[in-house]
Amino acid sequence: QKIAPMSLILLTMNNLSTSVFLLMGLLSSLVGGWGGLNQTQTRKIMAYSSIAHLGWMATISSIMTNILIMNLLIYLIMTTSVFFSLIISKSKTIQDTTSTWTLSPTLTIIMMLS
């Protein structure tokens, strides 16, 4: 979900101006942040989070490519751990995640930290 947009950003960052990337990053971050506020399903929250992170990565691409790649790797590690935690706990909504504390406190702590 992130590799194709990131490769497009890396290929076009030399051809587009910095202000275009900053505007695109700002709009994507705003849409992702506002869209995820009123969601209760974890899939939708993760989708809006992905949109917001893509905006941050577009903003970072205008500054330094090395930081962009490091940010992408950290994001992939964090997202993978959250998805595995949600799969193990079989959580589909935020209310489902509140009941995972009784089943596995360690998994709940890892999910919150991720």
What rounded mean pLDDT belongs to the chain?
A: 82
Lookup: tokens for 59: 């903003």
Lookup: tokens for 24: 């695109």
CB of 47 closer than 8 Å to CB of 40: no
The predicted model scores a pTM of 0.72
pLDDT class of 110 with cuts at 50, 70, 90: confident
Strand partners, 41: 93
Quick check: 79 pLDDT over 80?
yes
